[in-house]
Amino acid sequence: MSAIKAAHLYKVFGKRPESGVRRLRDGATRADLQQQGMTAAVIDATFEVDPGEIFVVMGLSGSGKSTLIRMVNGLLPLTDGEIYIHDKPLSGLGKAGLRQVRRDNVSMVFQHFALLPHRTVGENAAYALKIKGLNRADREKKAGEALEMVGLGGWGGYKPSELSGGMQQRVGLARALAAGTDIMLMDEAFSALDPLIRRGMQDQLIELQQKLEKTVLFITHDLNEAMRLGDRIAMMRDGRIEQIGTAEEILNDPASNYVSRFVADVDRTRVLTAGSIAEPPYEVLGSEQGPLMAQKILREHQPSWLLVVGRGRKPVGMVWEDDVARAVREGRKDLPFSKVHEMPVVHRDTPINELFEHSAKHLAPLVVTDDDGRVEGVIPRVTLLTAATPVVEQETDEDLEGAHA
C-alpha cells in the first residue's frame, strides 16, 4: 500500500480546463495552451510515495510543485486524474471528508511558517489539536512533547516573534508533528532559512523521520537539498515529471538532457555512495577454502589479492598473492588466518567523500557491505576515485556463488 499515490494528475488554470487536458493528451504543449489563455500547471503527473519515505518534488519556479502539493492535500481541485491517500481516492470526498483527511492523515509545513503571531509557541504547536477537539491538558502535553522533539523544550511560553527564523520553522515542524498525522507535506519548508540553519533543519528532519517513520512529501527548488533529503526525487519541468529516482539514479542515469544539465554541478562525492561505485568481488575466497583454491582463482582472474569471506558472506579480510604462494609452497591445507589482513569495511550508504578518510587511514581496498553486513562489493583503490567513476552492475548471489565454486 502506498501512502500517497497520484495517477495521471492534471491541473489546468483558465476558462475551459477540461478541453485543455484533452488538448494536452492530444500532444499540445504548455505554450500551445498559453496561447489560448490557459496555464497547464501540472501535466500527467504519476507517482507513488511509500510509507516512511521522504519523497522530494524538485523543480524550478513555475514548474508546478506548489500546485501539485496543494492538490495532494485537497486544497486545490484536480482538473483530471486521481489522488489516493492510503489507497482511498480524494475525489468525491466532499469538503467534510477532505477536512477529515487533513485532520487525521496529512499535515503541512509552510515556507513562511504560518504561525499565529499573537499566540504563544505552545499554542501554535497545539493548533491542530484544538481543531481535533482535544482538551487543554492533552493538547499541552502533546504540543510539549513535539516542541521537545524539535529541540524547543522550554520555549512554549514565548511569542513567535521572540524566536529566530530557524526556531520559528521548528515550531511549524512541531505543529505538524503534534498533529500526529502519518503524512507530512513540506512546501519549500526550509527555503527561507540561512544555509547553516537550513542544513541543521535538514539533519533534524532526517533524524525525526527515521525515528517516527513519517511519510514526507517535500517540495524544493534546491537540487542539493533534494539530493540530501530524498529517498527518491521527482524532477519536474514545465508541469511534467521528467524523472523519478534516487539521487544516485538521477546522477548516474539522467532521463533527459534537461535533467543531465541540471545535475551537472552537483557535488557527486556528497551524493554518491559506496554501494553505487563498488565493484562486484570476483576474487572471493570462502574462509573454509584452502590455498590451492586461492591459487586457482588468482590464476583465472589475475588479481593481486583475494577477498576472504566467512559464513553468510561476512567479510573476513584479504590475502595477497604472496601469502597464497607461500601457503602453497609450504604445502598447507588451510589458509593461515594470521595471514588474513584486515580490510576496512563500510556500509553501502556511506557517502563517497567519507571513503577518502578510510582509504587514507588504511591504504587498503574497502569492502562494501549491505544492511546485514554481507559483502556486496569492493572498492579497490579509493585514492584514485574520481567523481565520474562509472557504476558497475552489482553481481547477483548466484554470481557470487559461482565465484566460490
Ligand X SMILES: Nc1ncnc2c1ncn2[C@@H]1O[C@H](COP(=O)(O)OP(=O)(O)OP(=O)(O)O)[C@@H](O)[C@H]1O
Nearer to ligand X, 12 or 272 (CB): 12
Q: Does the protein bind ligand X through residue 237 (CB under 6 A)? A: no
Q: How far is the CB of 159 from ligand X (least distance, A)?
A: 29
Judged by CB under 6 A, the chain residues 340 through 379 that form the site for ligand X are none
Residue 13 makes contact with ligand X by CB under 6 A: yes
Helix (H, G, I), strand (E, B) or coil at 360: helix
Interactions with ligand X, residue window 186-225 (CB under 6 A): 221
- Indicate the residue among 147 and 235 with the shorter CB distance to ligand X: 235
> Would you say 231 and 53 are in contact if contact means Cβ atoms under 8 Å apart?
yes
- Nearest CB to ligand X, comparing residues 59 and 315: 59
What is the closest distance, in whole angstroms, from the C-beta atom of residue 65 to ligand X in the complex?
4
Residue 398 makes CB contacts below 8 A (sequence gap 6+) with none
The reply to whether 41 sits near ligand X by the rule CB under 6 A is: yes
Secondary structure (3-state) at 184: strand
SS3 state of residue 204: helix
Residue 69 CB, shortest distance to ligand X, in Å, is 8
Task: Please pick, from the candidates 2, 19, 39, 389, the single residue that binds ligand X as defined by CB under 6 A.
Answer: 39
Q: Are 384 and 378 in contact (CB under 8 A)?
A: no
How many Cβ atoms from other residues are within 10 Å of residue 26's Cβ? Answer: 8
Residue 33 vs 319, nearer CB to ligand X? 33
Nearer to ligand X, 110 or 158 (CB): 110
| CB-nearer residue toward ligand X: 39 or 260 | 39
Residues binding ligand X: number (CB under 6 A) = 12
Tell me the closest approach of the beta carbon of residue 53 to ligand X, in angstroms. Answer: 21
Binding mask 52-81 for ligand X (x = CB under 6 A): -------x-xxxxxxx--------------
The partner residues of 12 in beta bridges, in order of sequence, read 40
How far is residue 201's CA from residue 204's CA, in Å, rounded to a whole number? 5
Instruction: Give the shortest CB-238-to-ligand X separation in angstroms.
Output: 9
Q: How far is the CB of 253 from ligand X (least distance, A)?
A: 24
Nearer to ligand X, 8 or 221 (CB): 221
DSSP helix/strand/coil, 331: coil
Picking from 20, 119, 6, 133, the residue whose alpha carbon sits closest to that of residue 71 is: 6
The span from the CA of 282 to the CA of 334, in Å, is 21
Cell numbers that stand for 81 in this block:
486524474
Three-state DSSP class for residue 85:
strand
Q: By C-beta, is 14 or 180 nearer to ligand X? A: 14
- 67 or 120, CB closer to ligand X? 67
Give the shortest CB-318-to-ligand X separation in angstroms. 50
Q: What is d(CA 127, CA 122) in angstroms, rounded to the nearest whole number?
A: 9
- What residues from 115 to 154 belong to the interface with ligand X (CB under 6 A)? none
20 binds ligand X (CB under 6 A): no
Task: Evaluate whether 234 touches 202 at the Cβ level (below 8 Å).
Answer: no
Minimum Å distance from CB 57 to ligand X? 9
Neighbours of 374 (CB within 10 A): 15
Helix pair 136-149, 165-178: axis angle to 10 deg: 130
Q: Which amino acid is at 194?
A: D
* Region of 11 on the Ramachandran plot (φ > 0 left; ψ -120 to 50 alpha; else beta): beta
Cβ count near 162 (within 10 Å): 12
CB of 58 to ligand X, least distance (A): 10
Binding site for ligand X (CB under 6 A): 13, 39, 41, 59, 61-67, 221
